[in-house]
Amino acid sequence: MSEQVDLTTIPISPEGESPKAEEHDSDKLITVFHDKDNFNVKHPLQNKWTLWFTKPSSGKGDNWNDLLKEVITFNSVEEFWGIYNNIAPVSELALKSDYHLFKEGVRPEWEDPQNKHGGKWSYQFKDKRNVDINDLWLHTMLAAIGETLEEEDDGEVMGVVVNVRKAFYRIGVWTRTIGKSIPGRGDGDVSGGKGRSVEKGQKILLAIGKQFKEILKLPPNEVVEFSGHTDSAHSGSTRAKAKFTV
């Protein structure tokens, strides 16, 4: 695809009652599964999430901040589906586009204070023609907002990303740490609880990686890699040497 739909022109998330709401019985409870445009029931999520979009670069000299666009923040199952049903699927995005779904207040950047000590699990799908990237990305997002990538008190997952490139699709899960305590937090406090040991931190990351691999429906012989953002920044690439694999 050479053109990308302008996300700012899409009526994404219904707030309160939609214009057609009066057509329904006011006492009738309507979920997004009954009517994706005129629902009046909301099931809250544990966290608020923000969808971001990176549009393709027009050439040399483009500033990352100009390419990265914040789309919308939501906090319910119904709002998620309202958004998902009104944006372009990954398979229709232009090359060098990205979707990012991150917890509210976290920018999808290595430099963000909540990301700078962390890393990401990622996998590249090189056979693009035989990959249902839309389904895989949907289930990755559902796992993130449904908090099923980690245990309740782990506090590691910051967001998920999908990259559209000429030779591959890549999906990633960003974490707060690389399995070690964050400098300045003291006592190994890494969001999930004080006193977390390195062994415990690494065990949590490996569990996230295994869950991520299941969501991607990968066979045992395929490897999902974890690398630190600092290593990626130093190497000048998103393909830094893997710290862990599953």
pLDDT tens-digit map of 230-241: 876 555 555 556
**Distance, CA of 63 to CA of 113 (rounded, Å):** 20
In the predicted structure, residue 54 carries a pLDDT above the cut 90: yes
Strands 244-245 and 225-228: antiparallel
What percent of the chain shows pLDDT beyond 70? Answer: 76
Residues contacting 171, CB < 8 A, separation 6+: 122, 123, 125, 136, 137, 140, 160, 161, 162, 163, 216
Compute the radius of gyration of the chain from its Cα atoms: 19
Top-confidence residue, 16 or 181: 181
- The whole-number average pLDDT for the span 118-132 is 95
Give the per-residue pLDDT at 232.
62
| Residue closest to 32 by CA, chosen among 74, 60, 91 | 74
Give the per-residue pLDDT at 35.
72
Q: What domains does the chain contain, in order, with CATH numbers? A: 15-245 (3.30.760.10)
Instruction: Describe the crossing of helices 77-84 and 133-145 by its angle, rounded to 10 degrees.
Output: 160
Top-confidence residue, 29 or 174: 174
Give the per-residue pLDDT at 40.
74
User: Quick one: CA dihedral 17, 101, 143, 136, positive or negative?
Assistant: positive
* Backbone φ, ψ for residue 163 (5° rounding): -115, 135
Which region among 10-24, 40-54, 171-185, 232-246 has the lowest average model confidence (pLDDT)?
A: 10-24
Looking at the DSSP bridge assignments, the partners of residue 160 are 101, 173
Helix (H) or strand (E) holding 226: strand 225-228
pTM: 0.80
In the predicted structure, residue 175 carries a pLDDT above the cut 50: yes
